[in-house]
Amino acid sequence: MKDRVDDLGAVFDRAFADAPAPPAVPHVDVLRVRLAGELYAIVLAEIAGLYADLHVVPMPSPAPELLGIVSVRNAIVPVYDLRAVLGVGIGLPSRWLVIGRSTPAVAFAFDDFEGHARCPSSAIAQSAGAPIRGVVPLDGRLYQVVDLGSVHTSLHTRWEQKG
């Protein structure tokens, strides 16, 4: 028993004698997606949910980017085509949706989900108010980083001015 106590005491003492570990590099988690064949990243902290194959009910609207509505967790959520919102074209119906953390909830449809990635926070440029906040290198390819909050704000502002 005495040996065990001595061992624990030595480990405890060494913890204070060793140099402290370097601080962890702040990181950002992103979802890697495709829009009209182009590579994009969406910051995970801006996403409330990721869904596949939800039935989007078409709605008549003067907004060409509005695809319709979906029911998610007992809420009716408008779905916008992220390609059209960002001006990168249109294509076949999108299989994937992300719902942003903004209020009220809004979903954005995109073409393909490529996966999750983690990158240093310093790798993502911080530009306020722009739908594309910068470019980040992931797996040897460059991804444009979408700012869902700015996209939602620009949609809201545009339709508030028209209506």
Close Cβ partners of 137 (under 8 Å, ≥ 6 residues apart): 119, 123, 143
Give the Cα separation of 158 and 60 in Å (integer).
18
User: pLDDT (tens digit, 0 to 9) for every residue of the chain, 163 residues total?
Assistant: 677 777 777 777 776 766 666 667 788 899 999 998 899 999 999 999 999 999 999 999 888 899 999 999 889 999 999 999 998 877 777 899 999 998 889 999 999 999 999 988 887 766 666 788 888 888 889 999 999 988 888 887 776 666 5
How many residues can be counted in the chain? Answer: 163
Q: Any idea where the domains of the chain sit in the sequence?
A: 25-162
Block residue for tokens 């290198």 = 137
- Of 160, 118, 161, the C-alpha closest to 143 is 118
Q: Tell me how crowded residue 74 is: count the other CB atoms within 10 A of its CB.
A: 5
Pick the CATH number of 25-162 from 3.40.47.10, 3.40.50.2000, 2.40.50.180, 3.40.50.170: 2.40.50.180
Cβ atoms of 119 and 136 within 8 Å: the answer is yes
